[in-house]
Structure 1
C-alpha cells in the first residue's frame, strides 16, 4: 500500500477528532503508524521510505503531496480511501491515532528526536530502516 493512501485515511478518520492536522503532524503520525505496525505484524503498513529530516521523520512522497499547505491545516481529501485499507489495518490505525493524535505536531516532533530510529538515520544517512523501526517499537508494544 502507498503511504499516501494511509495519509488520506488518517486525514479522513481524524476529521472529527483532530481536524487540525498539518503536514508536520501527519508525517509524525505516519512514522508512528509504520513503526508500531512493523513491530506488531512484522511487515510495513505502507511501502514508501521514511527519511530522517531536520524536522523529524518524513515520508517524502506524502510531504510532496501536501507541501503547498505549508504549516497550515491540510484540507480534507475528497476521495474515499477506506476500501483500500482492510478492517484490521483500520482498527490498528485507530489504536495508534488514539494515543498519538492527542499530541501537537511540535510535541510529536520532539518525541521523535529522542527515538533511536530517527537518531540513527539522521546521523548515518537518511532512510529510517524497517529493521530499526521494528526493533525500537517492539519494545513499546
Structure 2
C-alpha cells in the first residue's frame, strides 16, 4: 500500500502524465516490484501478485481502490492495523529511501495509461503471459504470479538493458 500511495501522490503532483486509475496503479506497483526483484533479488513487498484478466494485480490494492471504478483514484490507501489493542485504518508510509527508484519507474511508465500498461504485461515472455499460458488463459482463479517467475523475467530485462 505504501508503494501504491507513493505513485498516487506522484501522479497528483505531475499533471503532465495520465492520472492513476485502478489499472494504471496496479501495473505501476507491479512494475516497481518486478524491477526491484530483477535488480536487487529481493521482494519490494510481501503480498502476492495475481494474474487477473487485465494483467497483474495485488489483491489488497483492488480491495482498497475498487470503488474508484475507471475514474482516477482520489485518495490514499489505508491498511488495517492493531494500534493500542484496537483495529485502526492507517495510511502506510515509506522512509523515502526508495524515492529515486520509484521516480525511475514513474519516469518510464507514468506516461502510459492503464490500458497501455496492461497490454504491455500481456507481451510474450512476460510473467503474466507465462502464468496465463499455464492456465490456458482461464484466469478465473486469479493464480499467483510467483516472485520467482517475476524475478527471472526482470533479470532478463536487466541483462538486456546492460
- Whether TM exceeds 0.5 here: the answer is yes
Task: Give the C-alpha shift of residue 80 in structure 1.
Answer: 6.4
Q: Which has the higher strand share?
A: 2
Is the 1:34–1:44 Cα contact (8 Å) retained in structure 2?
yes
State the alpha-carbon separation in 1 of the partners of residues 75 and 63 from structure 2.
16
Counterpart in the other structure of 1:36: 35
- Is the counterpart of residue 124 in structure 1 residue 141 in structure 2? no
Counterpart in the other structure of 1:16: 13
Q: Which has the higher helix share?
A: 1
- Is the counterpart of residue 102 in structure 1 residue 111 in structure 2? yes
Is the 1:51–1:121 Cα contact (8 Å) retained in structure 2?
no
Is the 1:12–1:76 Cα contact (8 Å) retained in structure 2?
no
Task: Give the C-alpha shift of residue 120 in structure 1.
Answer: 1.8
| Paired residue secondary structure (1:52) | strand
Task: Give the C-alpha shift of residue 16 in structure 1.
Answer: 1.6
Gap runs ≥5 in structure 2: 78-89, 136-142
- Is the counterpart of residue 138 in structure 1 residue 155 in structure 2? yes
Counterpart in the other structure of 2:61: 62
Task: Give the C-alpha shift of residue 51 in structure 1.
Answer: 0.5
Look at both structures and tell me which one has the larger radius of gyration over its CA atoms: 2
Task: Give the 3 Å change call, closer, same or farther, for CA 80–65 of structure 1 in structure 2.
Answer: closer
State the alpha-carbon separation in 2 of the partners of residues 129 and 29 from structure 1.
17
Counterpart in the other structure of 2:80: none
State which drifts further: 87-96 or 43-52: 87-96
- Is the counterpart of residue 7 in structure 1 residue 4 in structure 2? yes
